[in-house]
Structure 1
């Protein structure tokens, strides 16, 4: 605000609307932390994206400056600088000082855009300690400066600063001509410093969020080039060691976006559905005399969907309105899900006999959404959002339009008579029915599982050696490889809090198997039943019967293979156990070295866990002149240890070493397993050929 000495009517006319923004910023940007700070940046970037979406620009640049400011530049048409007749102000000043003003009202400039509330640039301006804008139009470069929404002039020279001396304009002042622009060059450059009186001290621009948004936008606007540059040098960011720059450009559309988002093996190819519908909407219109009246306007809603199903159960649905993300959905996502469920119910019932679908069976939404990756975009003029943050689409007519477009296209695809499409549809319908059966089966498992001993209930596998303690936090379940290791582990464990569950060799490869195949596999079903928290979507970590799950396999190639299979099972069907840090891998030793002590002193036993560790120890003993018994014992399996050795090295909490499995480790294990044993052969062949020259015979465990 201006000081009391020069506070006049001019300031009132400009700030009356923006003052409300400064008093209640949460109404406009959601919050005043990092999330709100990023929302301001999205408002500016979205204006540039709307220009590109309308075909008026091909490049956007975003720079995070070291002084805390951010700059957004584009090669669009440039904000108009001529006088707006109603206010007598330049178009540039109107855009940055008036709420609900801009090119997105009246329908003349944008047929569909993201910034429909018309408060974006003005709200960012109001919440900025300083904002500088430059516009290239008609061979000239125009400039204008603002402080907390108020137009004026900063007197700094050279490096720009937010706290430089500022002189407000006393009357309507046209933008200043600050230079020349090349013929045919147009565009807008906006640099602003967020007001630290408004935003919390820890509010910072997130480069990761900016990176994700830029990548997302480049998918949604094919051909648009977005350049990000981070000059802040913040620790933990890609630009920590110096300026970091990335360019995002994708010439494909949302089909490529779905391919990027997909992580599991495919059940279907990527399907693309497009269509449109129209509806009538009553909107208030203000005539030239300032009077408001209601008009009936016809709107057109364009729908574009790309989707594919994979073998997993996770759902990734991204929805957009005029390329603005709606993370909380709205009428368009409701129409999409309604169409999916209606279409699948119709097609499953039509193939009930083939799919073994009973009359009492009923598909639910989760059965259809399992394994789905989809991007849904709708484009329409003046959509209704719930709130300025635009996270939920509220236009009610969109629901039915999206539903009709998707249902019609999906019915055609699922009912196709073409050989390839028919086979794909059949596989998908089987997957959906299996999801339904697995959901029912998992619910029944969950209802019957209780924390009981083997004497109280026969529902738990007989091969489980349970512990006596019912305190979940202290209990541990060891998943043991083979019966021979089980015999030793049985003697080595503390039966008070350590339970044992043996598995016979290598379990099912769940990377390629369906959920029903996984549940019907004895080893997989036993683990899910013993842990007692369900699987997949129905998994409830609060029901888990053990505080720690410890994978105890042999220290050889087969043991590593089994551990990878087990991790893949946990990652795909019991992921919360990994996310909460409750899955561990035991680390059994590879060697037992008995160091000879002189005289009657008892020999010392040392365990090593790798070849390099053993060689290092032997070299140290040789330097110290100490001897050891030969041959050195090499453990090929857990069954070769006696109970005392297994307890001391692997099971006793006082001496053992455990490796906690993180979500990144499990994801990496699944990716490696998908490469080595997935259904896609080409990447595996390439991996084998590329690595053949580096393989040493000695590294193969025989």
Structure 2
């Protein structure tokens, strides 16, 4: 028998084991949480974004980036200069706080006392990360006739703030930051020049009239970008092939009378439609490049699609049997999109994707009427564009029909309670397995009938962990699920025929409460045990409906809004954010959904079914392999496993919150 480990070999876990990281320590310990660590470009972009925010606010016309021979980089602007007086609460110079404290900045209070209405900076984390990951950093601020200078090393102040009056005749205003990135934090210390020039050029595009200059001391090259024609000039220079019709450009911003959006929110865009070649697609939010897209791009797609669809319907151009999808219009679109959002929500600190739900309506609401008007003023161009979209739809439908023929004639009769979708494009189609008939009713009314099907399930599904495969179909619910998705039950080592699969996404949709979780577990058990290849191929998803709705009254420039939270944690975050914006907790009306059946069709669409705003989680094997996962589920779902379940409960019982 193996000897028990002596206490000396077991790591001690006590009060002394807990470390609280202070100041900029968290950034140095885990730089990947705050920035991209493949090269230092992103930490320099943080400084550049601050200079761009000054220009965006109308306080600067020039930005200069210098690559010095010693590997350092300087960024100079002619904005207002960072304030260097003492902070009223922190008793330290403001300029020092900006570079040494996480979550200190001038971009939190939008529309009431903050320094910026629109900005790319959100978290007050940016330049403090640049400072933490630089060996040395020199900051100079020219403001109100004085010059302030500060020097940091590894995030710490090494030369405290010094002030001197500006030289006579020197009327300069603005900020100059010179940083020496610390190579030990990055995979490569070399800056990707292609990415850097693209970034600088795009800043110039998005701010017509502002000049952006890059000086390279090693090669003695100087480049300056200034675009008087903005997005149109830029897109025409970037396109590889000629567009089929002239460029469609426009902009729309909310005014003070707008009920839904704050004054100044909106977008500018330029779109080109080409027949071949890879499309050029660039989007920005408050001048921040969103390389992974997001909800503003979804809004552009929706606006273009709705406008083209209504033009086609108005002129009766759609051939019989052809169904138009958003992708048919969007696939051949190249565009530059620049959105202005008052308080944008990004995915992660490096802001590559916009998550703000309202941005879909914001952008679509301006793009759709503008394109409808333009197409009806230029009917010939409209017909050319319609032809391009219809051709794409026909090609897509033909590809879908090829799969249809392979299914043979012995197709099982689809279950009567399945409300099917119209499209036959498997990759695009989704089926929602919905708990209960009342929720099924809301889902049927709220879904997009083009590609979303609904199969309501009555009551709890059978626990199928120990059911023999050939006895499965004795249960009506499971029979209906199998026939609806078009795949027969199979084992982990079988090679099932997936060509009959009728939906690319099989989504489990149950209430956000304990019963809903139980139904979710029973369905996941069914798929893992009897349809494992569907999980392996990435076809199974869990839809996450919200548990709470928060009605927030109007505040400052922001109109009244409805926000949704998945759980208590998100609810707390929403209420904290409202408190920061000056809305008291008791002014926010919180309602809890008892179940999906309580939501009306519009709410269910907006929160759970709409691809642009929903949370849909793919089901995958986690850290454990198939066999280990199988062992764990046996403990949870097996009939003779009560003792193992009890042991699990004793082990993890205190980490479970009871929801009564």
Bucket of the pairwise TM-score, normalised by the shorter protein: 0.5 to 0.7
**TM-score of the superposition, structure 1-length normalised?**
0.51
Residue in structure 2 matched with residue 127 of structure 1 by the alignment = 133
What is the count of residue pairs matched by the alignment? 383
Partners of 2:254 and 2:261 within 8 A in 1? no
Offset of residue 445 of structure 1: 7.7
Question: Counterparts of 2:349 and 2:157 in 1: how far apart (Å)?
Answer: 24
| SS of residue in 2 equivalent to 1:216 | helix
**TM-score of the superposition, structure 2-length normalised?**
0.54
Question: 1:151-190 counterparts in 2 under 5 A?
Answer: 151-153=157-159, 173-177=160-164, 180=167, 182-190=169-177
For the structure 1 residues 174 and 41, does the alpha-carbon distance in structure 2 shift closer, same or farther, using more than 3 Å as the test? closer
Query: Within the alignment, does 1:70 sit opposite 2:73 as a pair?
Result: yes
Residue in structure 2 matched with residue 220 of structure 1 by the alignment = 206
Offset of residue 182 of structure 1: 3.9
Residue in structure 1 matched with residue 387 of structure 2 by the alignment = 430
Partners of 1:89 and 1:174 within 8 A in 2? no
Structure 1 residue runs of 5 or longer lacking an equivalent are: 1-13, 154-172, 233-241, 281-295, 450-702
Question: 1:40-79 counterparts in 2 under 5 A?
Answer: 40-79=43-82
Residue in structure 1 matched with residue 289 of structure 2 by the alignment = 325
Deviations 1:131-151 (A, max 9, x none): 011122233322100011111
User: Among 222, 243, 247, which residue is 1:266 paired with?
Assistant: 243
Query: Within the alignment, does 1:32 sit opposite 2:18 as a pair?
Result: no
Offset of residue 17 of structure 1: 2.7
Question: Counterparts of 1:81 and 1:344 in 2: how far apart (Å)?
Answer: 53
For the structure 1 residues 218 and 114, does the alpha-carbon distance in structure 2 shift closer, same or farther, using more than 3 Å as the test? same
| SS of residue in 2 equivalent to 1:205 | coil
Partners of 2:149 and 2:161 within 8 A in 1? no
Partners of 1:66 and 1:231 within 8 A in 2? yes
| SS of residue in 1 equivalent to 2:281 | strand
For the structure 1 residues 415 and 255, does the alpha-carbon distance in structure 2 shift closer, same or farther, using more than 3 Å as the test? same
Question: Counterparts of 1:197 and 1:433 in 2: how far apart (Å)?
Answer: 54
Question: Counterparts of 1:20 and 1:61 in 2: how far apart (Å)?
Answer: 31
Offset of residue 197 of structure 1: 3.0
Question: Counterparts of 2:203 and 2:95 in 1: how far apart (Å)?
Answer: 26
Offset of residue 244 of structure 1: 1.7
Offset of residue 176 of structure 1: 4.1
Partners of 1:312 and 1:370 within 8 A in 2? no
Offset of residue 300 of structure 1: 5.0
Partners of 2:142 and 2:173 within 8 A in 1? yes
Deviations 1:496-541 (A, max 9, x none): xxxxxxxxxxxxxxxxxxxxxxxxxxxxxxxxxxxxxxxxxxxxxx
Partners of 2:27 and 2:132 within 8 A in 1? yes
Offset of residue 96 of structure 1: 0.7
For the structure 1 residues 213 and 103, does the alpha-carbon distance in structure 2 shift closer, same or farther, using more than 3 Å as the test? same
Partners of 1:139 and 1:182 within 8 A in 2? no
Query: Within the alignment, does 1:402 sit opposite 2:363 as a pair?
Result: yes
Partners of 2:312 and 2:318 within 8 A in 1? no
Offset of residue 320 of structure 1: 1.0
User: Among 319, 325, 328, which residue is 1:357 paired with?
Assistant: 319
Question: Counterparts of 2:104 and 2:327 in 1: how far apart (Å)?
Answer: 43
Query: Within the alignment, does 1:207 sit opposite 2:213 as a pair?
Result: no
Residue in structure 1 matched with residue 215 of structure 2 by the alignment = 229
Question: Counterparts of 1:322 and 1:33 in 2: how far apart (Å)?
Answer: 25
Offset of residue 448 of structure 1: 9.7
Q: Work out which of the two has the higher radius of gyration on C-alpha atoms and give 1 or 2.
A: 1
Offset of residue 382 of structure 1: 2.4
Partners of 1:72 and 1:191 within 8 A in 2? yes
Residue in structure 1 matched with residue 657 of structure 2 by the alignment = none
Question: Counterparts of 1:279 and 1:414 in 2: how far apart (Å)?
Answer: 29
Structure 2 residue runs of 5 or longer lacking an equivalent are: 1-19, 407-660
For the structure 1 residues 299 and 98, does the alpha-carbon distance in structure 2 shift closer, same or farther, using more than 3 Å as the test? farther
Residue in structure 1 matched with residue 143 of structure 2 by the alignment = 137
For the structure 1 residues 272 and 356, does the alpha-carbon distance in structure 2 shift closer, same or farther, using more than 3 Å as the test? closer
Question: Counterparts of 1:297 and 1:441 in 2: how far apart (Å)?
Answer: 42
Residue in structure 2 matched with residue 116 of structure 1 by the alignment = 122
